[in-house]
Structure 1
Amino acid sequence: MPPRGKPDKAAYQKLKKDLKEGTLGSLYVFHGEEVYLRDYYLGEMKQKLLPPGMEEFNLHTLSGKEFDVKVLEQLVDCLPMMSRRTLIVVSDYDLYKGDKEALAALLSDLPEYVCLVFVYDLIEYKADARTKLAGVLKEKGSVVGFQRQEQGDLIDWISRRFRALEHDISTEDAKYLLFLCGDLMNTLISEIGKVGAYARGRRVTRADIDAVATPQLDAVVFQMTDAIAAGNFDKAASVLGDLLHLQEAPIKLLAVLGRQLRQLYSARLAIEEKKGASYLMELWGMRSAYPAEKLMQSARRFSLPWCRRAVIRCGETDLAMKSTGADGEELLISLLMELAVKKGA
C-alpha cells in the first residue's frame, strides 16, 4: 500500500487566521472527512458574520437538490440587514455539474458583503482543473479540506476535552483511545463524553475506556489476533462470537481480518529485515506510531511461515465464501481454529 500524501493545510490555516483577524473572504468550499472540524468552523463563521438575533435575515441556506444558479443569484443580491455581511451556505451541490459557465460568472463577481460557502457532506468533492470554474475558485475563493488530524494534535484535543469534564488522561491512554475508537473527532467527542461520565476518579484509566467506549471493527479484530498470539484461543473465539452476535457480515469480518493479517505479515518481514515501526507507518499510510508499534509487538510472537500461511489461508477462505456457497460463519470459525492451532508453526 503506497503511503498517503500529506494534505495541503494552507487553506485550513488561512481560514483559522482569517477568523482570528476578522478578515473572512467571499467564497469557500468546505470538504473532507473530518465533519467535526468542518461544522465547528462553519459555526465560528456564523458567529463572526451574523449579529445575534439577525440570523433569520442574513443567513441563507440552499440544498444541492434545490440548487439553481438563478436562485443563488437572488440570494447573493439580498442585502444584509443590520449587519455588514450575509452568509450563504449551499450543501451538497456538485459544483462541476450543471451550468458551470453561469456559476463561474456569478462567483467571479460576488459583492463584498457576501460570504458564500459550498459544503460537501454526503457527496465527495472532485475538482476539474480544466474548467473556468476551477480557475475562479482558485483566484477568488478558498478550498478548505478538513482532514483527519495528526496524532499529536488529537492527543492535545482529547486532553482538553477531558479537562472540560474535570478529568485528566495520560498520553498513552489517549493513544489507546485513538487506537480503539479511531481518529475522527466526530466519533471521539461522543466516546470522550461516555468515558468522562463513567470515570469516577480524576484520572481516566484504561479500564474506564474499555468499560464504555465502542471500539471500531479494526481494533476488535486486532484483539482477536492478539489473543491468538498470546495463545488465548478462548478469548479469540469469544471476540469472534461477539462480532457474529452483533450480526457483522462474515465477508466483512474476513476482509478486516485479511487486512490485519497482511499488516502482521509485513510487520514480521520488517522484523526479519531489522526495520522499525516507522517503516510500517510509511508502508500502510499510518498517521500514528501507536498501531504500528502494537503490530510490531504482536508480530514478534508469530513465526514468518505462520504469517505467510495465515495470509494465504485468509485468501482461500475469501474465495470459498464467494464461490462455493458454504456458510460464511462456519468458514470464518474454521479459519480461526486453524490459525489458533497452528500459531506456533
Structure 2
Amino acid sequence: MPPKKKPDDGAYRTLKKQLKEGAIGNLYVFHGEETYLRDYYLGQMKQKLLPAGMEEFNLHTINGKEFDLKTLAQMVDCLPMMSQRTLIVVNDYDLYKGDKDGLMAVLKDLPDYVCLVFVYDLVEYKADARTKLAGLLKEKGLVVAFNRQDQGDLVDWIARRFKALDHDIGTEDARYLIFLCGDLMTTLISEIGKIGAYATHRRVTRADIDAVATPQLDAVVFQMTDAIAAGDFDKAAAVLGDLLHMQEAPIKLLSVLGRQLRQLYTARLALEQRKGTKYLMDLWALRSAYPAERLMQSARRFSLGWCRWATLRCGQTDLAMKSTGADGEELLIALLMELAVKKGA
C-alpha cells in the first residue's frame, strides 16, 4: 500500500496570512472534517469584518435548503451600514448541483464590500474540476480545506489550551490524549476542558486523563488486547463487559477488534522482518507515529502464530455472527475467552 498523500494545506495557509494582514478576499469555500478550525476562522472573519454592534445589519446568512439565487443577489446588493464590508454566509449548499450558470453570474461580479463564504458542514464538498464553476472559484476565490492536523501541531495546540486553563502537559501525555480520544480538535477541546477542571495540580498527569476523558472505541479495544497480552483476562473481560453494557453493537465491536488484530499481525510481521514504525504507518495510513509505536510494543508480547490464528478466528466469528442465528454477545465473549486461553497456552 503506497503512503497516504498529505493533504494540500496551501489555501489554509493563505487564509491565515490574509487574516493576519487584514486582506480578506471576496469569495471563500470552507469545508473539511476539522470543524473546530473552520468555526474558529469563520469567527475571526466576523471579528475583522463586522464592527461590534452592527452584526445584525452587515451579517447575512442563508441555509442550503432555503437557498435561491434571487435571495443571494439581494444580499450581495445590500450595502454595508457603518462598516466597510458585509459578510454573507451560505450553509450547506451544494454549489455543483444547482443553477451553476446563474450562480457564476453572481460570483463574477461580487462588489468589493462583499465577503461571501460557502460553508460545508452536513453536506460533503465534492468539487467537479471539469466545470467552469470550479475554474471561477479558483480564479476569484479560495477553497479552504480544514483537515485533521499533524500530531506535532496538535501537541503544541493541546499544550496551549491547557496553559490557558493554568495547566501544563508533557509531550508524551499529549500524544496519549490524542491516541485515547482521537485527533479531531472538535473532540479534544471538550476533553481538555474536562481534564483541566478535574486536575488538582498544575501538571496534568496520565491518571487525570484516564479519570475523566472519554476514549474512542479503537482505544478501548486496544486496552482489551493489551490486557490479553499481559495475561490479565479479568481486565479484558471487564473492558468488553463495559462496552456491551454501553450497548455497543457486537458486530461493531467485532469489526474494531478484527481491525486491531490485523494491525497486530502486521506489526508482528514487521518485527519479524526488522521493519520499523514507518512501515506500519504507511501500511495502515496512520497519521502519527504514536499508535504505530503502541502497536509495535504490543506485538512484541504476541507470537507470530498467535497473531495469525487470532486474525483467522476473528474472521470466522464475523462470518458466524452474520450468517447464523447465534447470539452476537455470546459469540464475542466466546472469542475473547479463546484469545485469552490461546495466549496463555
| Bucket of the pairwise TM-score, normalised by the shorter protein | over 0.9
SS of equivalent to 1:183: coil
Give the TM-score normalised by structure 1. 0.99
Partner of 1:334: 334
* Partner of residue 118, structure 1: 118
Instruction: Work out whether 1:71 is the aligned partner of 2:71.
Output: yes
Whole-angstrom distance in 1 between the partners of 2:219 and 2:2? 22
The answer on whether the counterparts of 1:303 and 1:344 sit within 8 Å (CA) in structure 2 is no
In the alignment, what sits opposite 1:61? Answer: 61
Matched, 1:170 2:136: no
Query: 1:20 aligned to 2:48?
Result: no
Q: Does 1:141 align with 2:141?
A: yes
| Aligned AA (2:91) | S
What amino acid sits opposite 1:122 in the alignment?
Answer: L
The answer for the alignment partner of 1:196 in structure 2 is: 196
| Structure 2 partner of 1:228 | 228
Give the Cα–Cα distance (whole angstroms) in 1 for the partners of residues 48 and 213 of structure 2.
35
Cα displacement (A) at 1:3: 3.3
Structure 1 Cα separation of the partners of residues 26 and 111 of structure 2 = 8
Tell me the TM-score normalized by structure 2: 0.99
**Are the equivalent residues in 1 in contact too, given 2:90–2:118 (CA < 8 A)?**
yes
> Aligned partners of 1:127 and 1:109: how far apart in 2?
21
RMSD across aligned positions (CA): 0.9
CA contact (8 A) 1:306 1:344 kept: no
Query: Deviation of residue 109 (structure 1)?
Result: 1.5
Distance between the aligned counterparts of 2:69 and 2:263, measured in 1? 49
2 CA distance for matches of 1:158 and 1:325?
Answer: 47
What letter is aligned with 1:224? M
Cα separation, 2, equivalents of 1:32 and 1:201: 36
Is 2:34 the partner of 1:34?
A: yes
Q: Provide the residue aligned with 2:264 in structure 1.
A: 264
Unaligned runs of 5+ in 2: none
Match of 1:294 in 2: 294
C-alpha distance in structure 1 between counterparts of 2:93 and 2:175, whole Å: 37
Shift of 1:104: 1.4
User: Which residue does 1:277 correspond to in 2?
Assistant: 277
Cα distance, 1:339 vs. partner? Answer: 0.7
Output the CA distance in 1 between the equivalents of 2:8 and 2:143.
Answer: 10
Deviations 1:212-265, CA, capped at 9 Å, x for gaps: 000000000000000001111110000000000000000000111111111111
Task: Tell me the secondary structure at the aligned position of residue 111 of structure 1.
Answer: coil
CA distance in 1, matches of 2:189, 2:53: 29
1:199-218 pair list within 5 angstroms: 199-218=199-218
Name 2:305's counterpart in structure 1.
305
Q: 2 CA distance for matches of 1:198 and 1:55?
A: 37
| Amino acid in structure 1 at the alignment position of 2:50 | L
- The Cα of 1:142 is off from its aligned counterpart by 0.6
Matching residue's letter, 1:179: F
CA distance in 1, matches of 2:305, 2:100: 57
State the one-letter code of the partner of 2:53. Answer: G
Aligned equivalents of 2:192 and 2:338: distance in 1? 38
* More moved, 103-112 vs 56-65: 103-112
Asked whether 1:98 is paired with 2:98, we answer yes
Counterpart contact for 1:302–1:344, Cα < 8 Å: no
**What is the CA deviation profile of residues 268-327 of structure 1, one whole-angstrom value per residue up to 9, with x for unaligned ones?**
010011001111111111111111000000001111111111111111111111110210
Q: Which stretch of the first structure deviates more once superposed, 95-104 or 2-11?
A: 2-11
Contact 1:30 1:119 in 2 (8 A): yes
Deviation for aligned residue 1:2: 4.8
Query: Is the 2:231–2:344 Cα contact (8 Å) retained in structure 1?
Result: no
Contact kept in structure 2, 1:84 and 1:113, CA below 8 Å: yes
Offset from partner CA, 1:112-131 (integer Å, 9 cap, x none) = 11100000000110001111
Aligned residues: 345
- Structure 1 vs Structure 2: percent identity of aligned residues? 81
Q: Which ranges in structure 1 are unaligned for 5 or more consecutive residues?
A: none
Equivalent position SS for 1:343: helix
Structure 1 residue 66 displacement after superposition? 0.2
- Letter aligned with residue 89 of structure 1: V
